[in-house]
Every structure is written in structure tokens, then in C-alpha cells.
Structure 1
Amino acid sequence: MSDQRHEVIVRRAEQSDVEGLVACSGALFAEDAGTRDPSIDINWPHEHGPQRFASGVTDPNRLLLVADRGDGEVIGYLTGALMEPSAMRPVKAATLVSMYVRPAYRRDRIGRRMVDAFRAWAKESGAGSAQVTAYASNAEAIRFYERNGFASQSVTLEATL
């Protein structure tokens, strides 16, 4: 990467972005889940990501966004999914499944732009709520999501067996 900064564009992912999505997802797994959850397969993005992201580009119930430096280089991504209403929860919900921005770009408000785009997509898709999950030990991510309008709703407790 050169020192010259391009204008970062947040846009829907295309098939040509799959390699960049896999690279960013791999970096997220290594940095986040790989340091917090020993049960996670950190190779998952490289083994299954290409097919998963390729199918998600055209799936109307999924949102794949990329942060593109303006030259086609993917420096971040966000994936979201819609969950249809059920008898138990009669409200369509949108889940922010994963998000990553390369460390060199983290203070440039790219994450906020992607979350804003996710929330707009969720609302346009008829979702009544949006949710995101973060590891309890990832205080920086939790603060980020709280600054972007998310609030704690439940806590998951886990025991290793």
C-alpha cells in the first residue's frame, strides 16, 4: 500500500470483490475470534469463504458491503442477513453478521459508514430491529457498536466442557 490515500467508497460487493472479502474475513478471524475463541476454525474464511461470499453477492436476504480505496482494493467489509418473522418473534430482524476494517483505516469513520448503510438496508428491507454480536472481551467493538446505536439486549454465558 502506498502512502497516498484514495477516497474510500462504501458500496455493495460484486463478484470481483470475493478475493478481497475472503482476505478481510481471514484477518477478522485471526484478530478477533482467533484470539478469543479456541473453538473457532480460523481457516474457515479461506476454505469456505469464496463460495459463501460469491453466493451472498446475489442473495436478496444478505448484504455484502465493501470499503474500497477507490482503486478496487478492499480494505474492509460488512455482511448482514435478514431473519424472517416467526411465531415466537413476529418481527423481521436484520443481523450484522461480521465487519472488519484494516487497522490503518480504523479512525477514518469507514465502520460508521458501513453500519449506516447496513441500517438503511435493514429498514428498506422491512426489518423492525437490527442486532449484532460481539465477544464480551472485545471492549473496543462493543464501544463502537454502542456509539452506532446498538444497546445490550442479552448476554450469552458459555462453559467449556
Structure 2
Amino acid sequence: MTADILIQQAHTKDAPAIAVLVGELLAEIMNAIDTQAFNFNLQETTARLEAYLANGTYVVFVARPANGDPVGFVALCECHALYAEGAFGTIPELYVRPAYRTRRLGMRLVSEAKAYGTARGWKRLEVTTPPLPQFDRTLAFYVREGFSVAGGRKLRTLL
């Protein structure tokens, strides 16, 4: 039942539990693509998230059973670009534990992210999915939630 799971904005005290979920997300992606794509250290991730939450770099909403640890989360950060006509939001991470994925928690987290972005005056919300075809279901989820494929590919270089 989803009514017993609340969506709330995270605070720095939530960082350790959210960092565990980040580790689960990254492990799931790496297992699916059979590549060591991320370096994950729980203590460093926790410290980084505490700092991001404290200084406003990240805003995180968690899905949490009453009096329980989070079972899902969505992270948001604000960006600025000329093509986006100013400020917009990105979703760097969204994760719901597999046992909770049929409870519409992902939809509720995205809805909270959209409401937050609207309140901030963002013109858009962007997300990059994990690699396809292993994550076709993730792409389908975002399309159902109103996102459209913008084209191109995500590229990076390590510094």
C-alpha cells in the first residue's frame, strides 16, 4: 500500500540511509551493464551528500514508511543554460528498492520533483537514463511520466 509511505524532503540526518540507496542504485546499474562504471565509497558518499544537503547543492525527496528508513529517493539540482531559457532542474539520481517498485513510488517521487521545480520557476526538468537496452523499462517509466527523448547521447570526460 502506498498511502503508508510518505514522500518528504530529506535533511542532513537522512544522508547515511540515502547513501546506502545510492550504493544499491549504482550496483544495480553496474550489474546490468557488466561494467565497473562507478566508484562508490559509502562514507565518502554520505559525507558528500550531507554537505550537498546542508549547502543546498542537492534537494532530495525520500519515500519512507512511517518511522522507517527511506526505500526510495529522487535527487535534484538546479542548473542554468541559455537553451533552457534560464534555470532548470536535473535529476541526477532516482531510485526505488525493487520490492517497492510496483507501488507507484517512482511516480510519486517524480511528481514531487516536478512540483518543486514548478515552485522554483524552472522551465524544464531533465534526466539521463542508465544505458539502454538494459534499462528500457527505466526509459519507458520516464516517458509515462511526461518526459520526452531530447536526442543526443550523454558524454563525459574525467578530470
Please report the TM-score for the alignment, with normalisation by the length of structure 1: 0.84
- When structure 1 is superposed on structure 2, of 15-24 and 112-121 the one drifting more is 15-24
- The residue aligned with 2:15 is 18
Tell whether 2:16 aligns with 1:48. Answer: no
Tell whether 2:77 aligns with 1:81. Answer: yes
2: CA distance, partners of 1:5 / 1:93? 29
- The residue aligned with 1:70 is 66
Runs of 5+ unmatched residues, structure 2: none
Please report the TM-score for the alignment, with normalisation by the length of structure 2: 0.85
- When structure 1 is superposed on structure 2, of 15-24 and 33-42 the one drifting more is 33-42
Which residue, 123, 127, 136 being the options, matches 1:139? 136
2: CA distance, partners of 1:6 / 1:23? 24
Deviations along 1:19-75, one digit per CA (max 9) or x if unpaired, are 11011000000001443273522424x253112210222333521111111123111
Distance 1:112 1:89, change over 3 A: closer
Runs of 5+ unmatched residues, structure 1: none
Q: Secondary structure at the match of 1:43?
A: coil
How many residue pairs get aligned? The number is 153
Percent identity reads: 22
Contact 1:20/1:73 (8 A) holds in 2: yes
2: CA distance, partners of 1:57 / 1:67? 17
